[in-house]
Amino acid sequence: MINIIREPLIFEISSPGKTGVRLPALDVPEKLDVLEGLTVREDIEGFPEVSETEVTRHFTRLSQMNYCVDFGFYPLGSCTMKYNPKLNEKIAGMSSLAGVHPLAPEKLAQGNLELMKTLEKLLCEITGMDAITLQPAAGAHGELTGMMLIRAYHQARGNPRKYVLIPDSAHGTNPSSAHICGYVVKEIKSSEKGTISLEDLAREMTEEVAALMVTNPNTLGVFESDICQIAEIVHAKGGFVYMDGANLNALAGVTRPGDMKVDVLHLNLHKTFSTPHGGGGPGSGPVAVRKMLEPYLPVPVIEEKDGQYHLNYNRPKSIGRVKSFHGHFLVMLKALAYILALGPAGIREMTEIAVLNSNYIRKSLEGIYHLKYDSPTLHECVFSDKFQKDFGVSNLDISKRLLDYGLHPPTMSFPLIVHGALMIEPTETESRRDLDLFIEAMKAIDREARENPELLRTAPHITYVRRLDEVQAARNPVLKWEKK
């Protein structure tokens, strides 16, 4: 990462007359009467004018200010920041696949439809579910889609129901998605083990509850061991079990949500299935369902008949479309390449090593950092800053200090049920050396917290910018560049 050159905004290095592109000349007669009836703009005020060299240096320098998985350990809990195989990028760039127009006649896109159908089948096998849609764009979009399916099912029986139950450890997207689907959210408190208590659930579960949204393993990394009883309680009142599949990297190849009697599940292809996060997307959030919800899946649905693939739009019970065209096709290709490369034993090994790595970190830091819940954990573990708080050091300070060690911090202050949380998910693609680097850095930071807390409170010290004033950013929003 560079610290010497302060990279300006592109607008600040722009000068009139430059361009970075050589466009073809107009090869048809120019006509001015085509402007009739159009309100044409005088200019694009402030728009940059730079050469290709300047563009290249600008973005190369900007790139060097980013921490990334290709550079090092990135243990964001619940984000599954695993290595992104380079092969997958090559496949998504194949023009025979990526060059096809989304509204091309089906018979000219049989290869692409076959690939999508294949991914559907493999994801159904991995999850133990009956049917799936690949249309949703990301995890939260999948949640919304899944809740819409549930609502449509209840609606078809005369009552969409009113409530959705969500544990207090859930991702913020869960209550938000339920709300946008027209439901009132009822929060369920986690037990002292960090899991759902069957008594609490039984009390809250009525015939006005449409669904329970559960993350399994939950955001503490703790598996809901009572998941089958949970499903029974929900099903007994005619409700559905929605599972947030963000943490599937703890389960794939070992157990299947379908076998736990989960009814709806979204997957994050950009987590479990290795597609890159791209600095905040694009992701892909397929939604898998049990048979009885299949008629409600978004249109179109890919069907196979005699080796020919066909898009079926005629599905009267469908909730409709949730996105234009076919979803994030290029992301799907990467996920499919990943599954094919790993194979069944590879998928299982992926999960096993993810869980091994997480438990190795947990064991190595236990006693040094506070662990609120001592339940066994799978692919992630959640420590807190409770011990370091005595020295006036918070999880934020610890995180910022990690940056000085050249490491990315864990997820901070989530889940909300752990005050001062540090949520660590290493994934399976970290070597022991990288795990040890992190463990040693965390130990060193704990020592620093005792000996020189100021060093932490003023961290980071060696990054491109020092600690940034987020309060000022929100209080006095500057959201674009403006000409002085």
Partner 1 sequence: MSYIPISDQDKKEMLARIGVESVEDLFRCIPENIRLKGLLNLPGPLSEPEVIEYFEERGRKNTFDRYLSFLGGGAYDHYIPAVVDYLSSRGEFVSPYTPYQPEVSQGTLQVIFEFQTLICQLTGLDIANASLYDGATGAAEAVLMANRVKNKKRLLVASSIHPEYRQVIYTYTRNLGLEVVEIPYDGLGRVDQKGLESALNSHTSVLLCQSPNYFGVVEDLKTLSDLAHSHEALLAVVISEPLSLGLLEAPGKLGADIVTGEAQSFGLPLGYGGPYLGFMACKKDFVRQLPGRIAGQTVDAEGRRGFVLTLSTREQHIRREKATSNICTNQAHCALRATIYLETLGRQGLKKLAWLNLQKAAYALEKLTSIPGVRRKFGGPVFNEFVLEFPADWNRIKQKLEENGILGGLALGNDYQGLEKCALVTITEKHSRDRIDGYAEVLREVLK
Site for partner 1 in 174-213 (CB under 8 A): 175-182, 185
Kindly indicate which of the ranges 27-35, 232-240, 417-425, 442-450 contains the residues binding partner 1, using the contact rule CB under 8 A: 27-35
Residues 81-140 binding partner 1 (CB under 8 A) are: 81-85, 87, 89-91, 93-105, 107-112, 114-115, 122, 125-126, 137-140
Question: Rounded to the nearest 5°, which phi and psi values hold at 38?
Answer: -100, 140
Residues 164, 175: Cα–Cα separation, whole Å: 8
Residues 393-422 binding partner 1 (CB under 8 A) are: 399-400, 403, 408-409, 411-412, 414
What token pair was written down for 369? Answer: 């950092």
Residues 61, 57: Cα–Cα separation, whole Å: 6
Using CB under 8 A, pick the residue from 4, 21, 316, 451 that binds partner 1: 21
**Closest CB 387 distance from partner 1, rounded Å:** 21
The reply on whether position 161 binds partner 1 by CB under 8 A is no
Using CB under 8 A, pick the residue from 345, 367, 451, 484 that binds partner 1: 345
Q: Which residue number, 66 or 390, has a Cβ lying nearer to partner 1?
A: 66
Question: How far is C-alpha 233 from the geometric centre of its chain's CA atoms?
Answer: 29
Residues 229-258 binding partner 1 (CB under 8 A) are: 251, 253-256
Residues 394, 385: Cα–Cα separation, whole Å: 6
Residues 297-336 binding partner 1 (CB under 8 A) are: 298, 319-331, 333
Measured N-to-C along each axis, helices 173-180 and 139-156 cross at an angle, to the nearest 10 degrees, of 40
Using CB under 8 A, pick the residue from 222, 234, 241, 289 that binds partner 1: 222
Kindly indicate which of the ranges 200-208, 383-391, 448-456, 460-468 contains the residues binding partner 1, using the contact rule CB under 8 A: 460-468
Q: Which residue number, 384 or 411, has a Cβ lying nearer to partner 1?
A: 411
Identify whether the C-beta of residue 128 lies closer than 8 Å to the C-beta of residue 257. Answer: yes
Residues 34-63 binding partner 1 (CB under 8 A) are: 34-41, 43-50, 52, 55-56, 58-60, 62-63
Identify whether the C-beta of residue 118 lies closer than 8 Å to the C-beta of residue 104. Answer: no
Residues 387, 389, 393, 397: is their CA dihedral positive or negative? positive
Amino acid identity for residue 305 in this structure: K
Residues forming a β-bridge with 18: none
Identify whether the C-beta of residue 457 lies closer than 8 Å to the C-beta of residue 397. Answer: yes
Residues 394, 168: Cα–Cα separation, whole Å: 22
Residues 348-377 binding partner 1 (CB under 8 A) are: 348-350, 352-353, 355-357, 359-360, 363-364, 375-376
